[in-house]
Structure 1
Amino acid sequence: MHITDYELFEVPPRWLFLKVTTSDGTVGWGEPVVEGRAKTVRGAVEELMDNYLLGEDPGRIEHHWQRLYRGGFYRGGPILMSAIAGIDQALWDIKGKRFDAPVHELLGGATADRIRVYQWIGGDRPADVGNAAAQKVDAGFTALKMNATPEMRRIDTPAAVDSARDRIAEVRDAVGDDVDIGVDFHGRVSKSMAKRLVEALEPYEPMFVEEPVLPEHNDALPQIAQHTTTPIATGERMYSRWDYKELFEQGVIDLIQPDLSHAGGITEVKKIASMAEAYDVAIAPHCPLGPIALASCLQVDACTPNTLIQEQSLDIHYNETSDVLDYLEDPDVFEYHDGYVDLPTDPGLGIEIDEETVRKRAEQEVNWHNPIWKHDDGSVAEW
């Protein structure tokens, strides 16, 4: 068996799908994308596939990962690691189908019977979160996540802090103490404000505070941790085990959130998760993306003992034109019961992509970019 062909499909709302075909007709799917940089990642995937993988045996996944990563003098970063991630997902999909087993069985087998998921509420600039939270809990979810704030100045007013506190108070009042609430700072907040905010939110016992500062300011996390007992999460903008090494050595992170479409795919995130386990850190993979990324996450979740919970993007505020289930032959594989999803059982990634729908929607113009926010004085704000 060898790799004979590949195709890339940019589809709404903001996803890039990769189809890899082998000499015996086996097809593997991956999702290599950086949100807002799909065309750039497309070029990286083409370069890697054309120069390294066409004509190769798809089964040598670790060897191929090493060649794709170490074959270039310049390594890492979101574009290269996302390209590698999607290719890696497709190779694991092919291997699972070749051995008629879900990927998690090939990685050691299940460590749990089902996987807990959480649901987003509130949008980019969070609003009407109480009603949204109550609706999602009524639908069976036991964990929610919301943005903490809109844009914030480096040192903002007491009113800005009060507003963030009032939002989580509204959600806690709506859902009670039996529901977990993750609060995402989205890297929008300076370390000065993060220290104030984590103290203000702590009485409402968030499940975690996420990305309280940008990853380039991870050195501030020990200071922030001194202001709260709330678990601290980060990692969606970190791309390899080497990026995580110093973070683990700090000893203040409780939860990591590597993205299976950004952090080198199944091969790399499984290694990152094992590193985290050695530091008593849980994992909750980042996944505001499409069905292939989610399927890949669930495969790693299923065989990883320190998995806490899984993000998923059904009805998320980004999915205005298409949603996760639209591209699946059988949407029931992601059916949620009581806040959990069953372990995938079908071979490979455990999903069948509706290729007709993919090809049809790839004909549309897709040009998603995140908004550029500004402060009142016209300076650029973090989104």
Structure 2
Amino acid sequence: MADAIDLNEYGAKLREDPHSVYAELRALGPVHRVRLPPPENYDSWLVVGYEEARAALADPRLAKDVSSLDTPPFAGRPAFDKNLLAVDPPQHTRLRALVTRAFTARRVKALEPRIQRITDDLLDAMLPHGHADLVEAFAYPLPITVICELLGVPEIDRAAFREMSNEMVAPTSEEAQQRAVDRLLVYLAELIEDKRRAGPADDLLSALIRTTAEDGDRLSAEELRDMAFLLLIAGHETTVNLIVNGVHTLLTHPEQLAELRADPDLIDDAIEEMLRYEGPVETATFRYAAQPLEIAGIVIERGEPVLIGLSAANRDAGRYAAPDRFDIHRDARGHLAFGHGIHYCLGAPLARLETRTALRTLLRRAPALALDGPPGEWFPGMLIRGRRSLPVRW
């Protein structure tokens, strides 16, 4: 077994500038055994090369479901283990087919006027003040309002939901994270039961309750709860940080911002470059070797955990020329910010739509937008790449 590189030795650099850490690792090879920082504090394989990451994301030998594997004690089954990120085919194939029956492209497209209205309302409230924390005033409330309205989460519950969600993706401690998991388990089960009793409604969760395949297959109560969990967490945490990272990147690259202002039609290319340059998901969720396999000549034994570095892959000079340069004219296609293979993000079209609406409207209505002091600290851990605050003025 290879000696582990202790990522804790990088200290604050791993959080503040992980790209330089991954570049150091990539110079030594595309795959490494590492000791993860808290709260994990255990060894895992980390893939930092683009080609290796892309292949690993689609490799069926790297499993999500650990129930049949001789995994270490830390790799127990997650609390929400019936969602798309925790199962493998054929269960994954079945769940994705059922969910996509309700979460259609038409449903996402139909949200566009409402997303624009929410965006305008938030800016109407924010802009008269002349300055704000963009996270609190804009980047957080937009996606959480959209996903809660889409799923049918009552407005009164959204503050509590935010607290639970933040603790789950960027935990302050293992104990606090577990408390958040337990609360969310109970909350979602009760929400689904309330909707079942209330009868047909137009929200996505109600549609998932009613969804039936040709053979009569339906989502079970546990599957509904776990899919609601995935849609709620993934449906807003990533978009919040895509908006925040995107705005911060533009404001710290004024020549690129000026070019986007001069040609707003570049917005879609700019968003793809934001996803590549500073995407909101740093590493994919854990996979486990269902059988011994090799990645770039490195043998990974059955049951061992594997982390695939999405941010690391997206800065690989073997795939993108001058990868540390932010360039909205770059062809950023092929980036791995939304993953690859069967676990490619189901909500990618919604995230792109929300971000396009948010950035286009913000830049148009706040032409003098600028930073108003140092941004907040980065979230802990290696899952979500995002800041706690972003002070701006206009």
In terms of fraction of residues, the more strand-rich structure is: 1
TM-score (norm 2): 0.30
Larger RCO: 1 or 2 (CA < 8 Å, sep 6+): 2
